[in-house]
Structure 1
Amino acid sequence: MTTRGTVVRRAPGKLFVAGEYAVVDPGNTAILVAVDRYITVTVSGADGAGVVISSDLYPRAVRRQWQGGRLSGGGEEAAHVVAAVETVGELLAERGLPVPALSVAVTSTLHEAGRKYGLGSSGAVTVATVDAVASYCGLRLSREDRFRLALLATARIDPQGSGGDLAAGTWGGWIAYRAPDRGHVLHLARSRGVEAALAADWPGFAVRRLPPPDGLRLEVGWTGSPASTTSLVSGLHRRAWRGTSSHRAFVRNTNGFVRAAVDALETGDGPGLLHQIRRARRELARLDDEVGLGIFTPELTALCDAAEEAGGAAKPSGAGGGDCGIALLDADAAHRLPHVRQRWAAAGVLPLPVSPALERSQE
């Protein structure tokens, strides 16, 4: 095994464009875009044993020790970093390789004064940590293997998460993503090992690149109010919604407009894409009315209304309930943008200066 003195890797944040909630079920497609805000992870050697984890998001470094293949000690603030290191550690152990003492340092531009923007910071830190630790330990992994390790790590924390943030962080750019059955892949890893899970078929999983929208600009508004995707998705499950006629209609309608939105992106049909984003907003609103999750806050509703009055289309991005909303506006109608932003500001929505991140190189 070879190691380098210091390895630095970063992963971008993400925004859901269409398909959230439905993508939680294996085989349903969502559209995401990676954005140019990043988590950066720096891995180097450490004195002693175990792993030292530090971050600009919490006040002091924490040392964790290996016990039975898991890292013990410390609090919960670094749970995704810990899960990522443990998963790479399992792969090393299966290959008969030791895990060296590690220093893992995390910095983020996905937060404002400690508050998250809702751009998928947990996914980004998992992707960047897997990449950095694996590279430091001399593992040569394909892009898909890095994604699979990241999904195994996050599924141990929250098996309901779709992994869309991980896919956006791994591939970058605009993507169409379908989630695998996380229970199935976790069972594979537990029963046959991480190496076998990397090599196995993952039913439902697919990812492919999409071209950016033609003639449209992406604008992002931040409500300033953090939301918990895990809580919102869990709330949906607690309401015994799955399997109902409403659930089936939601999935059917979502799959319909997502397929149409993919077609619009691939054919350069900007007006067609705007129509599908408006359909996506209406379907999320119907779900919110029926189930009462609180997907649409007053700020997100105002964000959407302002964009539509300017001829664009907008919706909450991700689980809603706060965090960010997205708007697609005519790129040739820049004169309308100041009015949209003024409307947002009046509603307490902060325009967030982000752009689509480029497709990630293989590295």
Structure 2
Amino acid sequence: MKGHVLLITAKAPGKLYIAGEYAVVENGFPAIIVALNQFVTCTVEESEDYGSIVSRQYTENSLHWRRMGDEMVFDNRDNPFHYILSAIKITEEYARSMDRQLRVYHLRIDSELDSEDGKKYGLGSSAAVTVATVKALCEFYQLNVTQAQIFKLAAIAHFDVQGNGSLGDIAASVYGGWIAYHSFDRQWLAERRHFLPLPELIDLQWPNLEIEQLIAPDNLKLVIGWTGSPASTSKLVDKVSLVKVHDQIEYQTFLTESRDCIQRMIVGFHEGNIAKIQAEVRYNRGLLQKLSDFSGVQIETPTLVKMCSIAESFGGAAKTSGAGGGDCGIVLIDGGTNLNRMLSQWNDNKIEQLQLTVHLIKQNVTQQ
């Protein structure tokens, strides 16, 4: 391709969980997740001799690499790019299966999901960077992929690195908007990865996987508060998973009630009924408080409790988002509400409103 440099750019949005946290890590259990208008952007530029991987967030750790056959050979191994490298590995494995010649390129990552001064907001940057990398390389290698195939490639890449989690944040980054996500059987995936060719695995129906895009009522407003303290989702999920062995009855009750709550909330979306959606947000918060009590895992920090109580006093339905332990809380409130006093009280309690809106991706409506 002398004289013409191929340049591809793809982006993937961050996400926040609305409801269904913790339960969604179990096979087939649902959650509601929303994609937000902050993005990870991946740029792939063809190169002739050596390639590089550079992130604006990790400038001191850029990687250089060469091709040795179909293998990528790196100059240095100590790097923060595990999700990017996993996404490259899986997408190139898929490209090879489609008879594409692997090429050399410079890959650049730029993320808006953390603040300029390095604050972590908990918007799912590892999922978004995985999706953006998969999307960019699929386009670079001219692979004609659907959203469902992008989801599965990115889910495999992310799961290979993290080893736990529901992969719902991958779904939000692929599909955008508000989604109802039922997690698939990760044990099934782990077993089949050993003996099924990737194209066959991607085209199979994955057990329990359901992704439905929801339409929010016109006057439903999402307000996001950040508590100033980051949290580690995988560590919190690991702690809860230890407890489920000892408190099986309570844990199963939590799962059943969470599933029923999310299903009622989905009906609220279908009906465009804000009051019903808000009621289930509050109910879900109560379930997470019970889970916190019997697991000993702190889901609501004192700042998150304060954030929720202030929002509730102004008619909002509020709860933690994601694993809790810090990061963000969400409020679903009638769009006609004057939020100035609520936000002023948040400010007094060192709670920062994140200026984010829902990001819609126009494509297929429902995918399984």
Alignment equivalent of 1:79, drawn from 65, 77, 82: 82
Is the partner of 1:111 in helix, strand or coil?
coil
Aligned to 2:314: 310
Residues 65 and 72 of structure 2 are in contact (CA less than 8 Å); yes or no, is this contact kept in structure 1?
A: no
TM-score for both structures, normalised by structure 1:
0.94
The one-letter amino acid of 1:184's match is W
**CA-to-partner distance for each residue in 1:206-239, whole Å, 9 max, x for gaps?**
1011011343211001112111111110111233
Q: Which amino acid aligns with 2:52?
A: V
The answer as to whether partners of 1:221 and 1:350 remain within 8 angstroms in 2 is: yes
| Residue of structure 2 in register with 1:58 after alignment | 58
Q: Which has the larger displacement, 242-251 or 280-289?
A: 242-251
| Cα drift, residue 310 of structure 1 | 0.8
Which aligned pairs between 1:1-363 and structure 2 lie closer than 5 A? 5-49=6-50, 51-60=51-60, 61-65=62-66, 69=71, 72=74, 73-112=76-115, 113-241=117-245, 244-334=248-338, 337-361=339-363
Q: Contact 2:66–2:104 at 8 Å: present in 1 too?
A: no
Other structure's SS at 2:88 match:
helix
Once the two structures are TM-superposed, the CA of residue 201 in structure 1 deviates from its matched residue by 1.9
Q: Hey, what's the Cα distance between the residues in 2 that align with 1:216 and 1:317?
A: 17
Does the aligned pair in 2 maintain the 1:224–1:322 contact within 8 Å? yes
Ranges in structure 1 where 5+ consecutive residues have no aligned partner = none
- Flag the 1:76–1:253 CA change in 2: closer, same or farther, 3 A: farther
How far is 1:95 from its partner? 2.9
For residues 163-212 of structure 1, what are the alpha-carbon distances to aligned partners after superposition, in whole Å with 9 as ceiling and x for unaligned?
11111111111111111112212332331121111111200101011011
Provide the rounded CA distance (Å) in 1 between the counterparts of 2:33 and 2:361. 12
- Asked whether the equivalents of residues 12 and 36 of structure 1 are also in contact (C-alpha less than 8 Å), the reply is yes
Q: TM-score, normalised by structure 2?
A: 0.92
* Alpha-carbon distance, 1:292 to partner: 1.5
Residue 290 of structure 1 deviates from its aligned partner by 1.3
For 2:269 and 2:132, how far apart are their aligned partners in 1?
A: 28
Query: Which segment is superposed worse, 206-215 or 348-357?
Result: 206-215
Displacement of 1:98 after TM fit? Answer: 2.6
Deviations 1:298-341 (A, max 9, x none): 1111111111111111011111111111001121222xx11211
Once the two structures are overlaid, the 10-residue window that deviates more, 253-262 or 190-199, is 190-199
Deviates further, 96-105 or 303-312: 96-105
The residue type equivalent to 1:40 in the other structure is T
Question: Residue type of the partner of 1:161?
Answer: G
Aligned-partner Cα distance in 2 for 1:154–1:278? 31
Take 2:171 and 2:251, find their aligned partners in 1: how far apart are those partners?
Answer: 25
Give, in whole Å, the separation in 2 of the partners of 1:70 and 1:254. 44
- Aligned Cα root-mean-square deviation (Å): 1.9
CA 1:284–1:240: 2 relative to 1, 3 Å: closer
Work out the CA distance in 1 between the residues paired with 2:273 and 2:84: 40
In the aligned structure 2, how far is the partner of 1:204 from the partner of 1:240? Answer: 21
Instruction: State how far apart, in whole Å, the 2-side matches of 1:71 and 1:273 are.
Output: 51
Number of matched pairs = 358
- Asked whether the 8 Å contact 1:84–1:150 carries over to 2, the reply is yes
In structure 2, distance between residues paired with 1:111 and 1:65: 30
- The 3-state SS of whatever aligns with 1:126 is helix
Q: Which runs of 5+ in 2 are unaligned?
A: none
- CA contact under 8 A between 2:100 and 2:141: conserved in structure 1? no
Rounded Cα–Cα distance in structure 2 between residues aligned with 1:266 and 1:237: 32
Deviation at 1:99, TM superposition (A): 1.6
Taking a change above 3 Å as real, the CA distance of residues 74 and 28 of structure 1, as seen in their structure-2 partners, is: same
Determine the C-alpha separation between the residues in 2 that align with 1:71 and 1:187.
28
- My pick for the range that moved more, 174-183 or 5-14, is 174-183
Deviation at 1:115, TM superposition (A): 2.4
Percentage of pairs with the same residue:
33
CA contact (8 A) 1:69 1:89 kept: no
Partners of 2:217 and 2:130 in 1: how far apart?
A: 28
What secondary structure sits across from 2:205 in the alignment?
Answer: coil
- Give me the whole-angstrom Cα distance separating, in 2, the residues matched to 1:242 and 1:78: 36
Deviation at 1:243, TM superposition (A): 6.8
Q: Which amino acid aligns with 1:348?
A: K
- Greater shift, 107-116 or 123-132, is seen at 107-116
For the residues of structure 2 that align with 1:91 and 1:243, how far apart are their CA atoms? 42
1:254-311 Cα deviation digits (max 9, x unpaired): 0111011100111011111111100011111111111111111111111111111111
Q: Is the 8 A contact 1:288 1:294 kept in 2?
A: yes
